[in-house]
């Protein structure tokens, strides 16, 4: 690319060649996919009929494999042909969309560092929001999957000339040089279990938006996708004509009941991209049914039932690990469609300014009330889950192993901090009392790190064990722990017995 931000003629020709190649392959692939899908669907139908008469594991396997094949063909058809339901062009802030998508990968943050270099964040492009979100989701998903262990993903956003650039780089396994030209071709993939449809959708979507993609990759170092979008003039966002039916004198409840299917259709269209992300991530959410229930309760102003629904869904969302950002996007889409529904109704009925403000306050209060209880229920369930996990971890972190009716071993492994030392104290003293243990060996050979404050605490625990009539033996003291004891001036008492190793202590006690 040239330094002035304009695409070079070489890149333009490369884009046109790639787009032409993809279009040709796509037309052929779509034709083949359509012809193959039909007989496969027929075979699946006969297998299902056969399963009703005969029960056999092979039939289940055959149906499962057919489902996977049909789903792959359906993905190919979706990529190779335009959407039947045309999505509207909107102004899109790519920085905001990327931030939202990154929340979907929170479970990977522990191993992959995300570096954001977002500049010119106020810049927007003109495009189909859901298609672009799916394209960037596929790129980010590929970046995470390309990093087998730990690594870094860097995302850059900036404007240069009349173009907005987004660059996604990973420190993953990379792509062989001879295979770079095949990226975006249907069914070509470098992953063991991939279908190649993800990048095909990416290339197709970017080119449909007048953009270009440049890929650089080095095996063992990583891959960088650089995407360029043109900046164009953008229309202002406003209310939309929802093409609803209206009967003179009907109430809002009657108006909603008459147009419920249309409301459902518009909401499904507004959340198309989010629904696709939900399907791709296999979150257990029936978006349409949930928000139609919510709309009915909101229309009838049934605040208590709306609160109960929010609590129920909050707990369900937390149980299914649905990211909060998905729920926020769905609620934002619902609020938009619902307010347009109100506008379309009241422009027929007529409403003065006082009524508009009253309606706005009441509607937003009910929606915000729902959001508050959803989030409260979600967080409450997650907190309970964390507490449960913490209790399980606490139990596992103090594994007292009985060797006989009167003797046990407590191997301590990992880091021993103040919190864990207190758990060691509580569980050890309780177990000694409950099991009537007379001798306990505390082995420290597996302790990787011990807080300075914990060293003194540990030996006070040993003295507490002695108060219960139990003899404590400490084994495996590491040199650095011994050095800390000397520095702190910790004195031994006759109640503290040490041995070099666990094996030595066991041999002497036999």
Residue 262 class from Cβ within 10 Å (0-12 exposed, 13-18 middle, 19+ buried)? middle
The side-by-side arrangement of strands in the sheet containing 401-402 is 401-402, 407-416, 439-450, 471-475, 496-499
Q: What would the pLDDT profile of 300-314 be if each residue is shown by its tens digit?
A: 888 888 889 888 888
- What kind and span of H or E run contains 324? helix 324-349
User: What are the domain boundaries of the chain?
Assistant: 9-230, 252-391, 398-509
Quickly list DSSP for 32-98.
HHHHHHHHHHHHHHHHHHHHHH---HHHHHHHHHHHHHHHHHHHHHHHHS--SSPPPPEEE-HHHHH
Residue 425 banded pLDDT, cuts 50, 70, 90: confident
**Residue entry with tokens 């060691």:** 424
Rounded Cα distance, 504 and 393, in Å: 29
Determine contact, residues 104/247, Cβ cutoff 8 Å.
no
**Residue entry with tokens 């758990």:** 423
Choices 1.10.1740, 3.30.70, 1.10.490, 3.30.750: CATH for 252-391: 1.10.490
Q: Can you read off the two tokens belonging to residue 442?
A: 């505390």
Most confident range, picked from 20-24, 50-54, 158-162: 158-162
pLDDT of residue 33: 56
Rounded Cα distance, 203 and 186, in Å: 11
Rounded Cα distance, 151 and 113, in Å: 6
Q: How far is CA 388 from CA 238, 331, 392, 413, 420, in A?
A: 48, 30, 6, 21, 16
β-bridge pairing 471-475 and 496-499: parallel
Q: What would the pLDDT profile of 63-98 be if each residue is shown by its tens digit?
A: 777 777 766 655 555 544 444 346 677 888 899 889
Decide: helix, strand or coil at residue 16.
Answer: helix
Fold for domain 398-509? Transcription Regulator spoIIAA (3.30.750)
Helices (H), 169-323: 197-208, 252-258, 260-270, 272-281, 287-299, 303-319
pLDDT of residue 167: 94
Rounded Cα distance, 39 and 34, in Å: 9
Determine contact, residues 228/1, Cβ cutoff 8 Å.
yes
Q: What's the whole-number mean pLDDT along residues 313-322?
A: 82
Rounded Cα distance, 142 and 123, in Å: 26
Dihedral angle of Cα 318, 322, 324, 325, to the nearest 10 degrees: 180
How far the first Cα of the chain sits from its last, in Å, is: 78
Kindly report the pTM of this predicted structure. 0.45
Dihedral angle of Cα 22, 28, 29, 30, to the nearest 10 degrees: 100
Higher pLDDT, 489 or 162: 162
Determine contact, residues 490/453, Cβ cutoff 8 Å.
no
Rounded Cα distance, 357 and 450, in Å: 62
Beta-strand (E) ranges in 161-242? 163-170, 212-218, 222-230
- Angle, vertex CA 170, rays to CA 167 and CA 171, nearest 5: 145
Q: Report whether pLDDT(153) > 90.
A: yes
3-state helix, strand, coil in the chain (%, to 5): 60, 15, 25
Q: What would the pLDDT profile of 157-185 be if each residue is shown by its tens digit?
A: 998 888 899 999 999 888 888 777 767 55
On average, the pLDDT of the chain sits at 77
Q: Report whether pLDDT(21) > 60.
A: no
| Residue 324 CB neighbours (<10 A) | 17
Architecture label for domain 9-230: 2-Layer Sandwich (3.30)
| Residue 103 CB neighbours (<10 A) | 14
Q: What would the pLDDT profile of 333-348 be if each residue is shown by its tens digit?
A: 888 888 888 888 888 8
Rounded Cα distance, 85 and 277, in Å: 18
């Amino acid at each position: 690319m040239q330094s002035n931000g304009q695409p070079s003629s070489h890149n333009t020709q490369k884009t046109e060649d790639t787009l032409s190649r993809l279009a040709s392959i796509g037309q052929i692939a779509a034709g083949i996919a359509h012809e193959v899908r039909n007989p496969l669907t027929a075979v699946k139908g006969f297998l299902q009929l056969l399963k009703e008469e005969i029960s056999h594991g092979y039939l289940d396997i055959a149906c499962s494999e057919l489902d996977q094949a049909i789903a792959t063909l359906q993905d190919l058809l979706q990529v190779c042909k335009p959407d039947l339901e045309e999505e509207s062009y909107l102004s899109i802030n790519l920085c905001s969309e990327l931030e939202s998508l990154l929340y979907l990968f929170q479970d990977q943050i522990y191993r992959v560092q995300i570096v954001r270099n977002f500049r010119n964040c106020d810049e927007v492009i003109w495009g189909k929001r859901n298609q672009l979100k799916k394209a960037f989701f596929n790129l980010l998903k590929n970046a995470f999957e390309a990093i087998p262990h730990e690594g870094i993903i860097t995302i850059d956003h900036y404007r240069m000339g009349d173009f907005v650039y987004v660059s996604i780089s990973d420190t993953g396994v990379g792509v062989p040089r001879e295979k770079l030209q095949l990226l975006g071709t249907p069914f070509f993939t470098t992953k063991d279990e991939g279908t190649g449809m993800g990048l095909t959708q990416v290339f197709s979507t970017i080119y449909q938006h007048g953009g270009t993609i440049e890929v650089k990759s080095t095996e063992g170092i990583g891959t960088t996708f650089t995407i360029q979008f043109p900046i164009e003039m953008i229309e202002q966002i406003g209310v939309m004509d929802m093409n609803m039916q209206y009967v003179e004198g009907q109430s809002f409840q009657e108006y909603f009941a008459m147009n419920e299917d249309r409301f459902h259709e518009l909401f499904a269209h507004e959340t198309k991209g989010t629904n696709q992300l939900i399907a791709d991530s296999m979150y257990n959410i029936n978006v349409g049914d949930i928000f139609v229930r919510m709309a009915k309760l909101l229309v009838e102003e049934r605040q208590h039932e709306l609160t109960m629904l929010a609590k129920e869904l909050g707990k369900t969302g937390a149980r299914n690990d649905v990211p909060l950002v998905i729920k926020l996007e769905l609620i934002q889409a619902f609020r938009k469609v619902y307010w347009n529904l109100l506008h379309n109704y009241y422009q027929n009925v007529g409403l003065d300014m006082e009524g508009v403000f009253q309606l706005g306050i009441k509607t937003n209060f009910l929606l915000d009330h729902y959001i508050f209880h959803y989030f409260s229920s979600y967080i409450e369930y997650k907190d309970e889950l964390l507490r449960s996990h913490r209790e399980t971890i606490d139990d596992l972190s103090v594994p007292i192993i009985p060797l006989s009716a009167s003797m046990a071993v407590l191997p301590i492994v990992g880091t021993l901090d103040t919190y864990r030392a207190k758990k060691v104290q509580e569980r050890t003293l309780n177990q000694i009392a409950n099991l009537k243990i007379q001798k306990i060996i505390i082995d420290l050979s597996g302790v990787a790190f011990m807080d300075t404050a914990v060293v003194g605490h540990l030996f006070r625990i040993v003295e507490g064990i002695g108060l219960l009539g139990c003899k404590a033996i400490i084994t495996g003291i590491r040199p650095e722990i011994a050095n800390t004891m000397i520095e702190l001036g910790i004195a031994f008492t006759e109640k503290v017995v040490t041995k070099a190793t666990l094996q030595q202590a066991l041999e002497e006690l036999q």
